[in-house]
Amino acid sequence: MGLFYNQLATLVCGVFAAVLTFLWPMFVDYAEVYHVVFLYAVPIMWFLTATCFVAQISADYAHGGHKPSKKPSKKSNKKLGKQVVYTADGKLAE
């Protein structure tokens, strides 16, 4: 697992959305344009936070929670036998 269980983007978006939500009532009386800006920015950031969360949960589920794979390791060339090598003109090199 990565930093914050791979939810770093969700955490950053959530903190930014919370800060915008906190600042909205403070700036709404300052100018009318801030009300419009916050009216667009706050729901979009909360939607982006939810989307990041769902996307990361889906990726973790699809990839098995980032558990180590149980694939067999590659065999060395010694165990496979003689290596066949061809030259640039397509003939077998010896």
Distances (CA, A) of 70 to 38, 73, 78: 49, 9, 23
Would you say 44 and 51 are in contact if contact means Cβ atoms under 8 Å apart? Answer: no
pTM: 0.65
Would you say 41 and 20 are in contact if contact means Cβ atoms under 8 Å apart? Answer: yes
For 27: left if phi > 0, alpha if psi spans -120 to 50, otherwise beta; the answer is alpha
Q: Where are the domains of the chain?
A: 3-80
Write out the chain's pLDDT in tens, 94 residues: 678 888 999 999 999 999 999 999 999 888 889 999 999 999 999 999 999 999 999 998 888 765 555 666 565 555 556 778 888 888 888 6
> Is residue 92 classed as helix, strand or coil in its secondary structure?
strand
